[in-house]
Amino acid sequence: MPMAFPRQITLLGATGSIGASTLDVISRHPERYSVFALAAHRAVDRLAELCLRFSPRYAVMLDMGAAKALRGLLQAGHCATTVLEGEQALREVASAPETDVVVAAIVGAAGLAPTLAAVTAGKKVLLANKEALVMSGQLFMDAVDASGCCLYPIDSEHNAIFQSLPKDFRRHQKAGGVRRILLTASGGPFRNTLPERLETVTPEEACAHPVWSMGRKISVDSATMMNKGVEVIEAHWLFGVPSPRIEVVIHPQGIVHSMVDYIDGSVLAQLGNPDMRIPIANALAWPERIESGANALDLFDVATLSFERPDFGRFPCLSLAYRALEAGGSIPAALNAANEEAVAAFLDGRIGFCRIADVIAATLERKGWADAKTLEEVLEVDARARGLAREEIRKRGAA
């Protein structure tokens, strides 16, 4: 039986770029979608603006001080939105009976618990949080299967793969005839930079993405190509394809968002302008198509599409991600935690750009990475890896 409109949306990560794109799509279809809850970390002024505009029932701030400040702003603006605080509140709005759709767009490990709560509650989940699958792939997908959650990827690459695969491919692999998944990557700002120059690049240079407008952390991940590495891990869990059949392809124009290579020689691809509203609108309305606000693709204007093999020597983080997936167990969770710590240190000026991969590699080389079968065990691995990564960062200083 089709779900009645308007559908109630809980948006985790409302003040980031994914949040902005989601709210833009929602605002174009007020008859279809209504905002139930908005959540953010500590961007008080921005979340206050969104509450005044969209009038959600709840606003959640992960930071307690930010929640107090938000209450004051909303009271002054005569906004009836109830302000909640902390991780438990994130879980509650993500799994609330009134919530129909959860957009999981909190960056990093902080998004895992509320996203898993939404999955366990059987919600329709639009997944932008890569770390949820990188940290807890088997646990996460087992929860999807057990609850009957409808999971839709809204990373542009994974949404492109989703659109290019046969229906329910993960459960019916033999009938699918898929040879490879071809995961496209722009190559980031340093695709053609001389290796010796990488030693001195600044955070500002690393955040200057040539195609997409993103937050600072994910922009650095693009510059190191760790973002593509974790997307390989994410694709493995989302679609059930082993790592040797997931290949990264450098595509600087950012028009082909990913491809699926079939055994009959066909390659299916999804093309579009680099605009996150396209995959968000696709996942929100699937199997329908709705207007997203994105400009139509003009192939005559694009003119040329080029493709290259990635240089694993230039991008060691990509190799580390493949190795973590092949090692399995809790190693991908450790990889994610070490990367988050190393990127934060780079953005703060505590280590150089090339030390990001060094910190991650040294962390993964430590012994004792046992399998993590519960959320609590995943979080224990995350905490241990962060501690080890911080040790490595202190050793390397600003070198």
Q: What is the value of pTM for the model shown?
A: 0.91
- Residues 112 and 31 reside in one and the same domain: yes
Q: Would you state the pLDDT for residue 399?
A: 46
Domain end: 90, 120, 153, which one? 153
Same domain, 178 and 306: yes
Domain count, the chain: 3
Query: What percent of the chain has a predicted confidence (pLDDT) above 70?
Result: 98
Q: Does 180 have pLDDT greater than 80?
A: yes
Residue 167 to residue 250: CA distance in whole angstroms: 27
User: 2 pLDDT exceeds 70?
Assistant: no
Span 328-349, average pLDDT: 95
Q: What is the CATH number of the domain that holds 384?
A: 1.10.1740.10
CB of 46 within 8 A of CB of 15? yes
170 and 307 both lie in a single domain = yes
Whole-number average pLDDT of the chain: 93
320 within domain boundaries? no
Which ranges constitute the DSSP H helices of the chain?
17-27, 44-54, 64-76, 87-95, 112-120, 130-147, 156-164, 203-206, 216-224, 226-239, 277-285, 299-302, 316-327, 331-347, 355-364, 375-396
In a domain, 396, yes or no: yes
Hey, how many other C-beta atoms are within 10 angstroms of the C-beta on 253? 17
Residue-range definition of the domain harbouring residue 64: 7-153
Is 267 a domain residue?
yes
307-313-316-319 Cα dihedral, nearest 10 degrees? 70
Please state, in angstroms and as integers, the Cα–Cα distance from residue 294 to each residue in 181, 188, 272, 284, 290, following that order: 26, 22, 9, 15, 11
pLDDT at position 194 over 80: yes
In a shared domain, residues 179 and 265: yes
Specify which residues 12 forms β-bridges with.
39, 104
pLDDT of residue 212: 67
Q: Return the CATH number at 11.
A: 3.40.50.720
Q: Is 307 part of any domain?
A: yes
Amino acid at 208: A
| Tens-place pLDDT, residues 129-156 | 888 899 999 999 999 999 999 999 999 9
Helix (H) or strand (E) holding 271: strand 267-271
The residues that bridge with 120 in the sheet, in sequence order, are: none
One domain for residues 177 and 149: no
Amino acid at 19: G
The pLDDT tens digits of the residues spanning 24-44 come to 999 999 999 999 999 999 899
Domain check: are 267 and 374 in the same one? no
| Relative orientation angle of helices 331-347 and 316-327, to the nearest 10 degrees | 160
pLDDT given at position 209 = 73
pLDDT tens digits for range 80-117 = 999 999 999 999 999 999 999 999 998 877 888 999 99
Q: Is 33 helix (H, G, I), strand (E, B) or coil?
A: strand
Q: Based on the domain organization, do 46 and 102 belong to the same domain? A: yes
